[in-house]
Structure 1
Amino acid sequence: MKTFSKLALALALTTGVSGLALTPPAIAKKKEEPAGPKLSPDFLKAAKPAQDAIKAKDYATAETNLAAATAAAKNDDEKYIVAALNYDLANQKLADQQAANPNAPLNETSLAPALDALIANPATPAADRGKYAYRRGALAYNGKQWPVAIQYFNQAKQLGYAPPEVNLQIAQAKVASGDVNGGLSDLEAQVAADTAAGKPVSEDYYRYGIARANAAKLGPQTVNWIAKYVTAYPTPKNWRDAIVTYGMAGNSVAKLDEAQKIDLFRLMRATRSLADQTDYLEYADDVSRKGLPAEAAAVLKEGMAAGKIPAGNAMAKALLADSTTKAKQEGSLAPIEAKASAAANGRLAASTAEAYLGMDNFPKAIALYRLALQKGGVDAGEVNTRLGIALARSGDKAGAKAAFAEVKGAPRSGIAALWTAYVDAPATAA
């Protein structure tokens, strides 16, 4: 989580009092009140030298006169001037420290008392109070005082000051304080609002949501953020990151068996996110051992054609030769189709559909997967996942989404959600 840039806000939110003419008001006409703040001569006697000393960077003199001005301040206008000068003094000191040593840690807590006074004072210009509340929230945020940061950020919004990043900062503070669900819910609402308004949403928002939800072991929320991410930014790299995060890494959202991983490899293939020879060889080996030699051969050929599998890779050559031989030996599946149609349950229909899916014969695969579901006796989640894959690859988006919607229970529901995201947003060019 990023902290606020050193003094970026502090320097932007100078009070303006440094340019205010702290001189005794001209003698007013009878029965007329002088314009501007009500400042007594005793107060001005101390405040004006303090103002001049801040400008001159004579901080010792400024502090002495500010102490006298504080003692002389009786009304809200005078107390506002004192708070503003204290803020400007602390601000200027910090700026000097940073200029002298840009890489040194900067303790900005000296701004807090003046900011608190400015926020609370009714004489502070209404247009500025929200800015000061936001700056106070930034101090708390940098100090990891999460509840205090949330309080002041919300106060800034109520006072009419809401920079574009404030909702994200509130969400991050909630997450950091332990309210992961609340923070991610706020973040999701912000993403939805920005999207609806046609505003660009940074990739960082999605990556943050994914990382925090996954770290908190919030499986459904993590899948939701992954799907939103690849829908908004459907590049091959992002697809691969998303798929690996879900089920192909040590800290993945779900622990998958080999059959489930195959359906993620198929998604990598569809989104052109198989990255290197390791991906291609593992995918080809998995489907080969599942009795799908045609799919193994196709994957290896694609990897070689794309230059992802080096021409001299002996393992790839041997696996391709073996898969090609086995695919030829399989011959026609027509006789098995007939047996599947006559079978008492759908298991043979499902396995035959799987073979056709591996051959990219989507019409045959679709028909047999539907037959398998009709006959029963099969893993409905697995069959609906693969029916959806066949429909998606054939171009039937509505049918694919309907099939994926029938997949219930993790981890297959997460696989179906990622495939649904693919249907909604196919991968773009790298």
Structure 2
Amino acid sequence: MKSPMASMSKLALAAALSAGIAAPALFAPAAAAKKEEAKPGYKLSPAVLKVAKPAQDALQANDLATAETNIAAVEAGASTDDDKYVAAALRYDLEQRKLAAAQQANPNAALDETKLAGPLATLYASPNTAPDAKARYAYRLGALNYNSKKYAAANQYLQQAQQLGYKDPNLPLLLVKSKIEGGDVKGGLADLSTVIEQTNASGQKAPEDYYRYGISRANAAKLNPETMTWLTRYVQAYPTAKNWRDVAIMFGLQQGSIATLDKDQKLDVYRLLRMANALADQAHYLDYAQTTRDRGLPGETVAVVQEGIAKGKVPNDANTKAFLATATAAAKAEGSLSGLEAKAKSAADGKLASQTGDGYLGQGNWTKAAELYRLALSKGAANADAVNTHLGIALTHAGDKAGAQAAFAAVKTQPRADIAALWTAYLNQSAA
């Protein structure tokens, strides 16, 4: 007596779903019929089986209109878990084919994938779904919910995909983004750090976009300490001239920056950009030069202007020539700092030693600058954070990486601590 339920190969259906858009093979070829009969199958009600085979045939022929009619009939007649599973598999196949056809017709049009969510959810929840397929469906549902800005649901599905062992290079970052866009910015940024560390540990370099995303989301949430951390990590990993400029501007060289810097603090950022060969334009060069002139550092003023002219960033016009002539005369008049150095050594405090160290720094005498800064610190300099910053700069130029790192690490108050962190990132930067 014929069973009231007909069967289809579970193996055939699983293969179809793993391919993503292939239709389930409802009937085995005649030559394989006996083998197929020996396999456990999905039991389909006669009403569903009657239209499921024509639906599959229409899909294989890419006759989407006929497939739609028959699949709708499958869905209407589905009464068991197996019926509903096959109906969802056919619907998912059809909707993907519709998307492919729409994209082929208009490659620039936005695709509406929301119709995939229903059949995917059915397949994911079905007791008939194998674990590996369940992982794929969880990932796809996570991606669909993310694109629909349903971030909590997206994160839930993506976590399940990860727990089920799904492997996809986009999964870790999508998990991070769903958490951040869902409102848990700090938690998501911590996860992003882990993703970057794991990627780097695997021998691959974490993409630049990972860092940019961390910066943008931390900044949008007004998490200034976290933003600063991401900025320093970014230029350390990708230290191009453009990236250094972008980071410096975002940090403190424009209105509305993360930090509000005074002239002396900006000067140390300009010095960093010059060290990184990243001064942007005439405005940067001339602001840098004017600041050094105002601070009584004519030797540095001359060096900065001459560099700007040589690199084509500063026009060698009458105004520039006059400015340069004045600075050159001041540098000659400054002469030797040995007299000030002797007075600094006998002074009761470190103020003159610090100022003389600044003079040597402006002249590019890194060894003497470091010596005077250390003297200032030993005498109890009132501006210890500024002195340690300048000591680190002098030692960076002198090639003493360990000494520079120690000096920068001694800077404790903001915003100088962040300036020191940027200099430390320069010392630790990867090859660009």
The question of a shared fold, defined as TM-score above 0.5 by the shorter chain, is answered with yes
CA contact (8 A) 2:138 2:158 kept: yes
Of stretches 213-222 and 98-107 in structure 1, the one that deviates more from structure 2 is: 98-107
Give the C-alpha shift of residue 71 in structure 1.
5.3
Give the C-alpha shift of residue 182 in structure 1.
1.3
Q: Deviations over 1:397-427 (max 9, x none)?
A: 1011011001112211110000001111277
Q: Cα 1:120–1:41, aligned 2, differ >3 Å: closer, same or farther?
A: closer
Give the C-alpha shift of residue 301 in structure 1.
1.4
In the alignment, what sits opposite 1:359? 363
CA contact (8 A) 2:17 2:133 kept: no
Distance 1:284 1:15 in 2: 62
For residue 86 of structure 2, the aligned residue among 76, 81, 87 is: 81
Q: Deviations over 1:289-323 (max 9, x none)?
A: 01111110111112222232223x23321221111
Please give the residue correspondences for 1:236-315 in structure 2 after superposition, counting only pairs within 5 Å: 236-311=241-316, 313-315=317-319
TM-score normalised by structure 2 residue count: 0.89
Please give the residue correspondences for 1:12-51 in structure 2 after superposition, counting only pairs within 5 Å: 14-15=19-20, 18=23, 20-22=25-27, 34-40=38-44, 42=46, 43-51=48-56
For residue 69 of structure 1, the aligned residue among 47, 64, 74 is: 74
**Secondary structure, counterpart of 1:198 in structure 2:** coil
**Secondary structure, counterpart of 1:122 in structure 2:** coil
Identity %: 52
- Give the alignment's Cα RMSD to 1 decimal: 2.4
CA contact (8 A) 1:287 1:295 kept: yes
Distance 2:307 2:73 in 1: 81
CA contact (8 A) 2:26 2:56 kept: no
**Secondary structure, counterpart of 1:39 in structure 2:** strand
Distance 2:49 2:86 in 1: 10
**Secondary structure, counterpart of 1:18 in structure 2:** coil
**Secondary structure, counterpart of 1:378 in structure 2:** coil
Q: Cα 1:17–1:303, aligned 2, differ >3 Å: closer, same or farther?
A: closer
CA contact (8 A) 2:241 2:278 kept: yes
Of stretches 160-169 and 39-48 in structure 1, the one that deviates more from structure 2 is: 39-48
CA contact (8 A) 1:373 1:380 kept: yes
For residue 384 of structure 1, the aligned residue among 380, 384, 388 is: 388
Give the C-alpha shift of residue 152 in structure 1.
1.2
Distance 2:430 2:412 in 1: 23
**Secondary structure, counterpart of 2:288 in structure 1:** helix
Please give the residue correspondences for 1:26-425 in structure 2 after superposition, counting only pairs within 5 Å: 34-40=38-44, 42=46, 43-70=48-75, 72-73=77-78, 75-311=80-316, 313-425=317-429
Give the C-alpha shift of residue 154 in structure 1.
1.1
**Secondary structure, counterpart of 1:390 in structure 2:** helix
Question: After TM superposition, what 4+ stretches of structure 1 lie above 6 angstroms from structure 2?
Answer: 24-29
Q: Deviations over 1:124-160 (max 9, x none)?
A: 2332221111111111111111111111111111121
Give the C-alpha shift of residue 247 in structure 1.
1.0
Gaps in structure 1 of 5+ consecutive residues? 1-10
Q: Counterpart of 1:372 in structure 2: which amino acid? A: A
Distance 1:20 1:344 in 2: 93
Give the C-alpha shift of residue 44 in structure 1.
2.1
TM-score normalised by structure 1 residue count: 0.90
Distance 1:162 1:250 in 2: 44
Of stretches 357-366 and 418-427 in structure 1, the one that deviates more from structure 2 is: 418-427
Q: Cα 1:83–1:343, aligned 2, differ >3 Å: closer, same or farther?
A: same
CA contact (8 A) 2:309 2:315 kept: yes
Give the C-alpha shift of residue 23 in structure 1.
5.7
Kindly tell me the number of residue pairs found equivalent between the two proteins: 415
Q: Counterpart of 2:387 in structure 1: which amino acid? A: V
Distance 1:426 1:342 in 2: 43
Distance 1:15 1:378 in 2: 69
Give the C-alpha shift of residue 95 in structure 1.
2.1
Give the C-alpha shift of residue 13 in structure 1.
6.5
Gaps in structure 2 of 5+ consecutive residues? 1-15
**Secondary structure, counterpart of 1:417 in structure 2:** helix
**Secondary structure, counterpart of 2:356 in structure 1:** helix
Of stretches 100-109 and 381-390 in structure 1, the one that deviates more from structure 2 is: 100-109
Distance 1:299 1:27 in 2: 85
Q: Deviations over 1:170-189 (max 9, x none)?
A: 21222222221111111111
CA contact (8 A) 2:189 2:214 kept: yes
Q: Counterpart of 1:288 in structure 2: which amino acid? A: R
**Secondary structure, counterpart of 1:224 in structure 2:** helix
